Amino acid sequence: NQNIDYRVTANFEEVLQRFSIQSQQTIAGPGRPAFHIPSGMLEHHVLCGITAPEIHLRLDLPFLPYMTLLNDFLGCRKTDLYSPLTNEELDHIVTDVHRSHPNTGYKLAHGLLKARGVRVPISRLRDSFRRIDAEGVCMRRLRLHTLRRRQYSVPGPNYLWHIDGHHKLIRFVVHGGVDGFSRLVVYLTVAGNNRASTVLQSFLTAVDEYGLPSRVQSDKGGENVDVAEFMIRSRGTNRNSHITGRSVHNQVIYRLWRDVYEHALDLFYQIFVSLEDHSALHPDNELHLFALHWIFLPQIQRHLKSFRDAWNFHGLRTERGQSPQQIWRRYREQIPTEDSTEVNEDYGIDWNGPHTLLDNTVSVPEIQLLRELTDDELASLPVPGGPLACTIGMYLETVQILSRIIGD
């Protein structure tokens, strides 16, 4: 039963804390009582960026200064938590990140490094960006503008997920879902079709990881039918378990698409345009499109995963530097998502967010060659998933092989 699994997952950390933390012991003599805290649990909280007051609440401890927690229980200083990298080593890592995500600034890159297990002060990362990409830093600074903080009415994590599809690349569809409260990206996948079953599969993968949301909001598109039926079966009727409306009602995820395109998809758009300019790609040629998807789909998915990790771990300026991951976990433990009350169709609308007045329903036909390829023929194609620098050559090779196969 999916609901039972969800409750077990939600209470796991609480149960672990109760049975792992030893009770307070008073020792003879002067000084404060001794507390025995499992170092592994404390280290996990510290590395996740959880503040000292929150650590005290989670572990049921009296207040201790942050440095006392580090010195007395972990035997280290705050600087010991950072990765021991020289400026040259850090610049090499940042250059690699910048090469894969050329439009990414230092804040999002900081989240990406955290997701990779690289921990450095953001001041060092900022200096590294200035060394390797001084011009880009200036250009991004010129684009900055202050936005008024929107008022959002969702009570907590998993109360409302926003889902949508992005169709800016040739016959590729990016399916995404965002938790409305924390702005946590719960899934971000690319596919060659817009089928309802494809959207549902991505959604269910996110449910396995984060639990079942109370409600889901989407546009009125046929690709969302399976998710709607699943939510109604799981959460019940007469409560708007699945909320549909015009595109103007789903601004939360439109806000995300802007960043997804800039930091993950624009690179591939430029590659595809270049291939078209050199007559190596014809968008109406099914053979070319098959080769394009065969080689580039794994690359796009890898970039989407990197963006999702970076986004979920980067600090939000409007949330005092807390990341979406921190916000989701912090409030997830405090606020239940069981809510049987009915809500109206305006529930969870970000009235100050970006939107479009156009209908977002897009039909994406699947790519079809003149005939289906055999297993041996598929095995003769280049193996996708190599370095990004090799993809254009692999695409051209795939076109040649397919032309020979189909021609035969």
Q: How far, in Å, CA of 347 to CA of 152, rounded?
A: 9
Q: Which of 194, 229, 184 is nearest to 365 (CA)?
A: 194
pLDDT per residue over 237-247, tens digit each? 888 899 987 65
pLDDT of residue 291: 96
Decide which of 313, 332, 351 is a domain's last residue: 332
Beta-carbon contacts of 16 under 8 Å, excluding residues fewer than 6 positions away, are 41
Contact 60, 21 (CB under 8 A): yes
Q: Is residue 377 part of a domain?
A: no
The pLDDT score that the predictor gives to residue 124 is: 84
Q: What is the pTM of this model?
A: 0.64
* Nearest alpha-carbon partner for 268 in 103, 403, 49: 103
Note whether residue 168 is domain-resident.
Answer: yes
Spacing of C-alpha 160 from chain mean position: 16
Torsions phi, psi for 284 (to 5 deg): -95, 5
Task: Note whether 40 and 26 are within 8 A (CB).
Answer: no
What value does the mean pLDDT take over residues 374-393?
92
When mean pLDDT is compared over 39-48, 97-106, 398-407, the highest value belongs to 398-407
Domain that holds residue 44: 2-81
pLDDT band at 1 (very low <50, low <70, confident <90, very high): very low
pLDDT of residue 102: 73
Structure tokens at 225: 């039918």
Of the ranges 91-95, 200-204, 313-317, which is most confident? 200-204
**Residue 337 · residue 157 · CB < 8 Å:** yes
Per-residue pLDDT at 81: 67
Whether 118 is in a domain gets the answer: yes
Are residues 116 and 240 both part of a single domain? Answer: no
Strand arrangement of the beta sheet that strand 173-179 belongs to? 185-191, 173-179, 161-166, 216-219, 242-245
- Tell me the three state secondary structure of residue 336: coil
Give domain status of residue 366, yes or no.
no
Could you tell me the two tokens for 248? 């103007």
Task: Tell me how long the chain is.
Answer: 408
Residue from 94, 102, 83 nearest 131 by CA: 94
For 42-92, the DSSP string reads HHHHHHTT--HHHHHHHHT-----HHHIIIIII---GGGGS----HHHHHH
Report, as an integer, the average pLDDT of 118-141: 73
> Which one, of 61, 74, 3, lies nearest residue 32 by Cα?
61
Tell me: do 72 and 203 sit in the same domain: no
Give the pLDDT of residue 348: 47
Residues 101 and 76 in one domain: no
Between CA 150 and CA 216 the distance in angstroms is 20
Tokens of 393: 């050559």
Please check the confidence at residue 355 and state whether its pLDDT lies above 50.
no
| pLDDT value, residue 120 | 82
Same domain, residue pair 252 and 324? yes
Closest-CA residue to 360 (of 280, 228, 199, 244): 244
- The amino acid occupying position 191 is A
* Contact criterion met (CB below 8 Å) for 213 and 199: no
Domain at 235, CATH number = 3.30.420.10
Residue 357 lies in a domain: no
Q: Check pLDDT > 80 for residue 88.
A: yes
45 vs 401 pLDDT, higher one:
401
For the cut 70, the answer to whether the pLDDT of residue 282 exceeds it is yes
What digits encode the pLDDT tens for the residues 166-177?
A: 988 888 999 999
Q: How confident is the model at residue 12 (pLDDT cuts 50, 70, 90)?
A: very low
Which residue from 158, 80, 112 is spatially nearest to 328, judged by alpha carbons?
Answer: 158
Residue the block writes with tokens 């090779």: 397
Residues 124 and 66 in one domain: no
What does the pLDDT read at residue 171?
83
Of 32, 54, 81, the one marking the end of a domain is 81
Whether 254 is in a domain gets the answer yes
The answer on 120 and 21 residing in a single domain is no
Q: What CA dihedral angle connects 237, 238, 242 and 248, to 10 degrees?
A: 170
pLDDT at position 4 = 41
Residue 13 resides in a domain: yes
Please tell me whether residues 33 and 7 are part of one structural domain: yes
In the chain, how many domains are there?
A: 3
pLDDT of residue 132: 75
Greater pLDDT, 102 or 339: 102
Spatial distance between the Cα atoms of 75 and 94, rounded to a whole number of angstroms: 30
User: 49-80: per-residue pLDDT in tens?
Assistant: 666 556 656 666 655 555 555 555 455 555 66
The predicted structure's pLDDT at residue 28 = 46
Nearest CA-CA partner of 331 in 58, 43, 145, 112: 58
Domain boundary among 332, 366, 390: 332
Shared domain for 114 and 172, answered yes or no, is no
Query: CB-based burial of residue 332 (10 Å sphere; 0-12 exposed, 13-18 middle, 19+ buried)?
Result: buried
Contact yes or no for 55/333 (Cβ under 8 A): no
Q: Does residue 266 register a pLDDT over 60?
A: yes
Average pLDDT, the chain: 77
Residues 91 and 66 placed together within one structural domain of the fold: no
Is 300 found in the same domain as 195?
yes
17-21, 119-123, 271-275: least confidently modelled range: 17-21
Give the pLDDT score at 317: 75
Asked whether residue 155 carries a pLDDT value surpassing 50, the answer given is: yes
Higher pLDDT among residues 250 and 9, named by residue: 250
Residue 307: pLDDT above 80? yes
Claim to verify: residue 285 and residue 192 sit in the same structural domain: yes
Same domain, 179 and 326: yes
Is 253 among the domain residues? yes
